Amino acid sequence: MEAGSSNSSGQLSGRVVDTRGKHRIQAELKRLEQEARFLEEELEQLEKMDNASASCKEFLDSVDSKPDPLLPEFLFGDLLTYLQNNRASECNMGSMVRRPERSKTMCLLHSLIFIFTFFLYFSSTR
């Protein structure tokens, strides 16, 4: 009889554990169903949207078509020619002998402007 009584108590405790496990499984199943519905709705929204690459291309085309208001509007070729001509006239030995401070400063200034302009030109052509 002891074997029978221990067996019946094992079945009883097994049923309690099964009931708790059943509720946990049902709760997990509901959570998974909600997540599946959410993902289906998100997928439907994504299917309705335009392609991102087309939108990005449109945006880039609109940005490229408008000039940058912060950059001056002049031709870099003309500016480079101007700077090269003025640099040559300011940085010759005769002017350095007459006004050494001004000429060295002007040479440095023209060199910096030339380098900056060169940088702007190549950064804007990329």
Q: What pTM, to 2 d.p., does this model score?
A: 0.30
3-state secondary structure of 60: helix
Name, in order, each residue with C-beta under 8 angstroms of 79's C-beta and a sequence gap of 6 or more.
Answer: 117
In a domain, 82, yes or no: yes
In a domain, 37, yes or no: yes
In a domain, 63, yes or no: no
Residue 13 has pLDDT above 80, yes or no: no
In a domain, 33, yes or no: yes
Same-domain check for residues 41 and 78: no
**Domain encompassing residue 78:** 71-124
User: What does the mean pLDDT of the chain come to?
Assistant: 68
In a domain, 91, yes or no: yes
Q: How many domains does the chain have?
A: 2
Residue 89 region by backbone torsions, left for phi larger than 0, else alpha for psi between -120 and 50, else beta: alpha
Q: How far is CA 122 from CA 77, 79, 117, in A?
A: 12, 14, 9
Tens of pLDDT, residue by residue over 37-88, are 999 999 898 888 777 777 777 877 777 777 666 655 555 556 656 666 665 4
